Structure 1
């Protein structure tokens, strides 16, 4: 059977205490467990963090020349592993390798003390790997199985949203989009969900969304159109030195309230020009009563044939800008806000023209 959900995302970072501090103090994640020399892992130090249904693992190398150290040197602070929950690790591994994935870890018993399950690992896009872990109803079971862990006392975080992982946005090099989408369908049974070519002034990008049948894994794959002027996707590929996870999107029930709470915790969001909201009533006519709150919080709005969605992006807290976070509220909408890219560009152009008068 194919993978069912993303068990966790692991970040390799320069400073794990600083990176964990941001996620705990600003985004409201709660520390669950730690691994390092005291638990038998001598080349790295890791902390498992959880908020709502999202599990992140923050890892720092303890010695130069290790896998973690080389990743951070090559790609900056960024996602190194998107782990998949599997009902049958062996069959997931076999299918992925047959589809062309590199076997990074043959199926082997978990190294976690007291856990009687198997795990494996295969290559994904770029240098991102997919650890295949046994699916379980025990939330504490969704931890990296390649090391042992010491669980921390129960803790509570600041007043912040408790999200679900809506999707993972992946930046790819030009010319690799279709092949990557085909690979994820063949390797992990994540078929084509939607696609769109987006033009923004002199820039353009192409995108394909792939999603598994259960809806627990959604990748928005994006490549730049290299016949046009370089834009944000090319900028990410340069900073990350190749393909990688551009952002994680967190689904919340009340985005305006969430943004206010996160802002009180010091989270910096991208600002939206006022002209965007001047035009918003024309784009999403039934949201007139909400525009004042959206303008105050810099939240963007979009509509598709199923409903509307609200979204906002944080500024990257990492030195090379190699990862940021999105918050999203879906009111029936199934899209990913591509109209907002165009609307923001038009609003910026309008403000530029007004300033030039």
Structure 2
């Protein structure tokens, strides 16, 4: 293991000037502007909701954006996951010794609040890079080089990032799992009893329509970085692309498909987002009519009609439940969305909910094609 990831600092995005990601995160999803930097052709805006921080890099400059790398990707995209490490310089040397590409060697940045050292490492997931950050003792609100912005009330819809789902090419999950294990200290997180880490969890869509293979990863025990989920398509008879295949085609390769944001109150968060104009994915009508679904929802302490109206999925049993709701894509290319998740003892992702999400995305795509 070359560099154990201790904590997620932020998720960086690269969008062209004028693209509304930052505006939408603020106005529709409750993220509050945290800090800004404008230099070298870049406008870099950090936004926070709870402990979840998104860094939106707008424009394009002659040099790299601070704390990142310009991948020159053809569509708006998540470009970097930034993790805290104990020693950025030692980490860069160790990863280079493992054969990793280190396009940005260790850089030191300082301001009146202290200093930070960062390095950027290429990941095996398409154009997604990893920024590894050493910032012990830094006392500013974000990172050196950024100007703090006036604080505003946080609506409290989100507390932290629960998980990060990477859309991967078919058959690539085992190699990616080993890379994150060997280089960043992630370990296999079984989603079903006795799960083989080489095969992960297979969730069939039904009726020969393919499905998903999911492989979950977690940091070492007591780690506080969010889980990673590797998602790839299973072969099926359908001619229509599923959501992973469509992501790979429209995104021009693997990448971050969605971010799972933990919410302490999914009913309040979903209602607030809907009232603000955020677009939520509608589950298939059959979801809430499944045998036993009403009893399951009641056992978790909710009204089936309320979850139905707000499009919230629920899965679990034996007093351990998972509630989820998904947004529509935040990019016109249909390559990135958000998930709100509330856990009542459940640690997985809900196989019935995965199937429902699968069907919801397929139906949404069919509606879009018919429009």
Is the counterpart of residue 223 in structure 1 residue 223 in structure 2?
A: no
Q: Alpha-carbon deviation of 1:127?
A: 1.0
CA RMSD of aligned residues (A): 2.8
Which residue number corresponds to residue 299 of structure 1?
A: 312
CA-CA distance at 1:99 after TM superposition = 3.7
Aligned residue among 161, 178, 199 for 1:182:
178
Q: Is the 8 A contact 2:9 2:83 kept in 1?
A: yes
Select which of 26, 29, 32 maps to 2:31: 29
Structure 2 equivalent of residue 6 of structure 1 = 8
Inter-CA distance 121–62: structure 2 relative to 1 (3 Å threshold)? closer
Q: Specify the alignment match of 2:201 in structure 1.
A: 196
The structure richer in helix per residue is 1
Q: What residue is the counterpart of 2:351 in the other structure?
A: 338
The 1:266–1:137 alpha-carbon spacing in structure 2 relative to 1, beyond 3 Å, is farther
**Alignment CA distance shift 1:294-1:84 (3 Å):** same
- How far did 1:242 drift? 0.3
SS at match of 1:27: coil
Alignment of 1:1-357 (within 5 A): 2-15=4-17, 18-36=20-38, 41-63=39-61, 71=71, 73-74=73-74, 76-110=75-109, 112=111, 115-124=114-123, 125-136=125-136, 140=140, 142-143=142-143, 148-156=145-153, 159=155, 161-194=157-190, 195-201=200-206, 202-213=209-220, 214-226=223-235, 229=238, 230-279=241-290, 280-281=293-294, 286-287=299-300, 289-303=302-316, 307-343=320-356
Q: Quick one: distance in 2 between partners of 1:218 and 1:331?
A: 17
Tell me if structure 2 keeps the 8 A contact 1:13–1:72: no
Contact 1:160-1:261 within 8 A present in 2 as well: no
Alpha-carbon distance in 1 for matches of 2:51, 2:4: 20
CA contact (8 A) 1:224 1:233 kept: yes
How far apart, CA to CA, are the structure 2 residues paired with 1:183 and 1:56?
A: 24
Report the number of matched residues: 340
- Deviations 1:156-180 (Å, cap 9, x if unpaired)? 35x4513210000100111211000
Secondary structure of 1:215's match? Answer: coil
Q: TM-score, normalised to structure 1's length? A: 0.86
Q: C-alpha offsets along residues 69-92 of structure 1, whole Å, 9 cap, x if unaligned? A: 974652x22110100011222333
Normalised by the length of structure 2, the TM-score is 0.83
- From the superposition, tell whether residues 300 and 91 of structure 1 become closer, same or farther in structure 2 (CA, over 3 Å): same
Closer, same or farther: CA 227–266 of 1 in aligned 2, 3 Å: closer
User: Is there any run of 5+ residues in structure 1 with no aligned partner, and where?
Assistant: 350-357
Question: Contact between 2:46 and 2:54, CA under 8 Å: does it hold in 1?
Answer: yes
Secondary structure of 1:60 counterpart: strand
